[in-house]
A and B are shown apart, each in its own frame.
Chain A
Amino acid sequence: MSTTLLEARQLYCERDDRVLFSGLDLSVGSGDIVRIAGPNGSGKTTLLRILAGLNLSFEGDLNWHGYPLHGQRDWYQANMLFLGHRAGITASLTPLENLRCWVDMRRPQREASLWEALADAGLEGYEDIPSAHLSAGQQRRVALARLYLSTEPVWLLDEAFTAIDQGAVKVLESLISSRAAQGGAVVLSTHHRLQLGECRVLELGGA
């Protein structure tokens, strides 16, 4: 019996005079992988940002472990990782420094783990170069490295598969699968055809 981690009930959201979704229910339990699908502009990013607690212009309920989200924000944020369109990589810092900043804002980890994560993400040898000098694909791998180090059960990934090569796609797919297998949950939006095994699909769009 998996625990319900994140729950959305009767979500309603409108934007630019269009109703993006209405009466939307979503229950994410441990072990779940949910793919949010739909054409461009159907509200995938908006929904993910609502789930992450960034976007507050919606109606409906959000619950974390059964408690209303807005009252548990700190607890939720300690256990949730959100990756948006822009991965949050600071150009003037090296991948190592970027990782260190992210990690130290939450739970410190051994320096060796950071190096391992960068190597795992395929950035061996690039750890000490200012991120501005990396290619777009390499920069996104820094975000992948962060996923390696993540202890957060819930991942919300918005278009995480964009701008990365085949090898990195495979890596990401397996990271997602293992997160779910370890009892976490992943909600993601992507245009890519994924090989993720058991994956629920939530269709948006059509309003």
Chain B
Amino acid sequence: MWQWFHKLGSPKWFFGIAGRLIPWLGFGALMLLGVGIVWGLLFAPADYQQGDSYRIIFIHVPSAYLGQSLYVAMALAGAVGLIWRMKMADTFIAATAPVGAALTFVALFTGAVWGKPTWGTWWIWDARLTSMLLLFFLYLGVMALRRALEDPENRARASAILTLVGVVNIPIIKFSVEWWNTLHQPASIRMTEAPAMPASMWVPLLICAIGFHLLAGWLILMRMRNEILHRERRARWVRNWVLSQ
């Protein structure tokens, strides 16, 4: 097990493995998202309460969930980087931050779009959207900090510290925004249905969820490969690989 873990720290090994995984992830993402989104947007039955406008959850829910879990993943990578001084950990953070930010933005956007037919406004300060907004700021913060620091070691360490402190804050944010929201909007409308969703609804949702995960994996691995090529550009294996392209 440890052997695999240490292999993970080798840019060359990771580059190879990632290279082989990427086509599968891309293909899988394309298929699943294609099926899931079409099914969800077009074929799943209309919701008895919200009509057709609820359909956006097929995009909103997976992207929101991924937005959060990718931040946690970055924090884990940060911890690994600090404890085991693994450079690949920072490569992961560099690759993931924009992907997570983009997914969070998609969640915000779809959340707002969903709000229009439901509440009549393009934006609403409900608990979920506000938490998503703050998560978006957290992502922007990591990206802005990385841009501001030039030294790679400092950048890696700072990102690790920031994401670790941030991950502690995420449940606090959720809790406090949740509470804040109940004060001001006692009848807040839930965006996801209760678990009692018919199969014709949660199956496409699941497909979309898996599809989004594959999409994120695909994007992150591609970005990591780019990052590795950049960081290891003086290594011989990189030169050989580039020449062989």
Contact = CB atoms under 8 A, between A and B. Distances in A.
Q: So, do A and B actually touch in the complex, CB under 8 Å?
A: yes
B234 A56 contact: no
Contacts of A17: 234
Interface in A45-74: 56-57
A57 B234 contact: no
B153 interface: yes
Interface in A1-60: 17, 56-57
Interface in A139-169: none
B230 to A, nearest CB: 11
B82 to A, nearest CB: 11
A158 B158 CA distance: 26
Contacts of B234: 17
A182 B151 CA distance: 39
Contacts of A57: 151, 153
Interface string B173-188: 0000000000000000
Q: How large, as a class, is the contact surface on chain A?
A: under 10
A10 to B, nearest CB: 17
A184 B151 CA distance: 34
A56 B151 CA distance: 12
A20 to B, nearest CB: 14
B44 to A, nearest CB: 53
Contacts of B151: 57
Interface string B141-176: 000000000010100000000000000000000000
A57 B234 CA distance: 18
Nearest to A18: B234
B22 to A, nearest CB: 27
B67 to A, nearest CB: 32
Nearest to A19: B234
Contacts of B153: 56-57
B144 to A, nearest CB: 22
A17 B153 CA distance: 13
Interface string A163-191: 00000000000000000000000000000
A16 to B, nearest CB: 9
A57 B153 CA distance: 7
Interface in B111-153: 151, 153
A80 B78 CA distance: 32
A108 to B, nearest CB: 34
Among all A-B residue pairs, the 4 with the closest Cβ atoms:
A57-B153, A17-B234, A56-B153, A57-B151
4 contacts: A17-B234, A56-B153, A57-B151, A57-B153
Interface of A: 17, 56-57
